[in-house]
Amino acid sequence: MTYILILGIDHDLRVSVVDLLQVEGFEAVVKGDSSDGVARVMQGSPALLIMSEDMLPLDGVELLPLLRRLTASPIIVVGAGGETAVVKALLQGADMYISRPINYRELLSRVRALLRMSSQGNDIILSEITFSEQERVGGRREPARVHRPTALQRQVIALLDAISEAARWSLERSFGREIQPA
């Protein structure tokens, strides 16, 4: 289930957004303030964040640069609107800005679009077993090299080793002689 973190959105709006996301099959986790949200992001990066521009103790827009250092997940900022607020949020690292009152169909469409775009951004390069994901640097996405393999990466490497060994064994049986690995 796709995990979406919701930060600092007022109670009435939060209930509606959580219900909408859960009906659509997402796991929605709600944190009331910016410090709880940062702690949750540090525990495990959500697939997407939806946050209010007016949070406590740290304003949502002021929180964006910190969140960008912690996660490359897409972020939707919900706020009162106005050209200055939208531009400020986008410059600080938001992927999208939605003005209140929220059109729930639009919100759901934007959530799906951002999740689709972010899933296309991940890549695994198997030349010399280099894994990478998209990372935000100065507001743009760039490849970020992962130096310590994760559990999944170790499993992929083990699987590739097993496939290589099975192919070598099959070729040795076919040719009747030992084949040296390259």
Consecutive 10-residue averages of pLDDT for the chain (182 residues): 87 88 92 81 89 81 88 92 90 92 92 88 45 50 54 69 73 72 56
Would you state the pLDDT for residue 132?
A: 47
Would you state the pLDDT for residue 128?
A: 41
Identify whether 139 is part of a domain: no
CATH of residue 114's domain is 3.40.50.2300
Domain count, the chain: 1
81 in helix, strand or coil?
Answer: coil
Identify whether 143 is part of a domain: no
Would you state the pLDDT for residue 174?
A: 74
Identify whether 163 is part of a domain: no
Would you state the pLDDT for residue 138?
A: 52
Identify whether 85 is part of a domain: yes
Would you state the pLDDT for residue 57?
A: 73
Identify whether 129 is part of a domain: no
Structural domain range at position 7: 3-120
DSSP strand pairing (75-79 vs 96-99) = parallel
Would you state the pLDDT for residue 177?
A: 74
Identify whether 155 is part of a domain: no
**CA–CA separation, 131 and 149 (whole Å):** 8
**CA–CA separation, 169 and 155 (whole Å):** 21
Identify whether 136 is part of a domain: no
Would you state the pLDDT for residue 179?
A: 65
Identify whether 7 is part of a domain: yes
- Total-model pTM: 0.65
On whether the CB atoms of residues 50 and 3 are closer than 8 A, the answer is: no
